[in-house]
Chain A
Amino acid sequence: DQQVKQNSPSLSVQEGRISILNCDYTNSMFDYFLWYKKYPAEGPTFLISISSIKDKNEDGRFTVFLNKSAKHLSLHIVPSQPGDSAVYFCAASERMDSSYKLIFGSGTRLLVRP
């Protein structure tokens, strides 16, 4: 009963092209979504977030799109760079819930080929 799902365990793209990482969720009460990036032997680092009142948030090369009706969000990286090679986790939470928790997906490993 995973509430946050990343169905693609891995993704390989050419440098300079677009990387699209996908995430689906089941809990309609989630109202805040985040993407974290993780390099080996390091902790996850925050990348970008989006509130459920928006459908898009952009930060440099990174854009997150939220489709509430489909319970789907995606992270676009344009252009992709070799340094973007990492594991990407999406996470979701109910900010109005009195017990604040982040629920993480299982991650997608991105490889950007030079």
Chain B
Amino acid sequence: DAGVIQSPRHEVTEMGQEVTLRCKPISGHDYLFWYRQTMMRGLELLIYFNNNVPIDDSGMPEDRFSAKMPNASFSTLKIQPSEPRDSAVYFCASSSLWGETQYFGPGTRLLVL
């Protein structure tokens, strides 16, 4: 099994630009999670999906952030416009059942200049 795949692994962009992060969950997993890790706030949940439907987006910091899951094998997290304070590592994770162990991807390190 390939595990959770994220792209790109690194992204450097300028303030105001649109950033799109991508995730491919483990095949057969019905739950997909987006996390952000920063020094100040640690690892925090942004949003999660069940069967491609967003269930809880209360962790999304503001309207500049949006996430979609058009099918069971692909999800995007978009930031538009990006700001320097969005610089962080963004992780995608998936799990097979509600409440079961989540498996994380390698993360996307984002730097907004």
Instruction: Assess whether A49 is in contact with B101, with CB atoms less than 8 Å apart.
Output: yes
A100 contacts across to B, CB distance below 8 A: 31, 48, 55-56, 98-99
| Total B residues in contact with A, Cβ cutoff 8 Å | 22
Instruction: Assess whether B42 is in contact with A106, with CB atoms less than 8 Å apart.
Output: yes
The smallest beta-carbon distance between A96 and chain B, in angstroms, is 9
Chain A interface mostly helix, strand, loop or mixed? loop
Instruction: Assess whether B55 is in contact with A99, with CB atoms less than 8 Å apart.
Output: yes
CA distance A43 to B4 in the complex (A): 10
Tell me whether B93 is interfacial, beta carbon within 8 Å.
yes
Instruction: Assess whether B93 is in contact with A43, with CB atoms less than 8 Å apart.
Output: yes
Tell me whether A62 is interfacial, beta carbon within 8 Å.
no
CA distance A107 to B107 in the complex (A): 17
Q: Would you give the 0/1 interface string for B91-103, flagging 1 where the beta carbon is closer than 8 Å to chain A? A: 1010000110111
Instruction: Assess whether B43 is in contact with A89, with CB atoms less than 8 Å apart.
Output: yes
Tell me whether A54 is interfacial, beta carbon within 8 Å.
no
Name the residue of chain A whose CB is nearest to the CB of B107: A43
CA distance A99 to B91 in the complex (A): 19
The smallest beta-carbon distance between B84 and chain A, in angstroms, is 22
A43 contacts across to B, CB distance below 8 A: 4, 91, 93, 104-107
Instruction: Assess whether B106 is in contact with A104, with CB atoms less than 8 Å apart.
Output: no
A49 contacts across to B, CB distance below 8 A: 101
Known: A43-B93, A104-B42. A99 touches B56 (CB 8 A): yes
B107 contacts across to A, CB distance below 8 A: 41-43
CA distance A49 to B55 in the complex (A): 24
The smallest beta-carbon distance between B48 and chain A, in angstroms, is 7
CA distance A55 to B4 in the complex (A): 31
Instruction: Assess whether B98 is in contact with A44, with CB atoms less than 8 Å apart.
Output: no
The smallest beta-carbon distance between B63 and chain A, in angstroms, is 21
Instruction: Assess whether B102 is in contact with A102, with CB atoms less than 8 Å apart.
Output: yes
The smallest beta-carbon distance between B51 and chain A, in angstroms, is 13
Tell me whether A45 is interfacial, beta carbon within 8 Å.
yes
List which A65-114 residues lie within 8 A (CB) of chain B: 89, 93, 95, 99-107
Q: Give me the interface of A with B, judged by CB distance under 8 Å.
A: 32, 34, 36, 41-46, 49, 89, 93, 95, 99-107
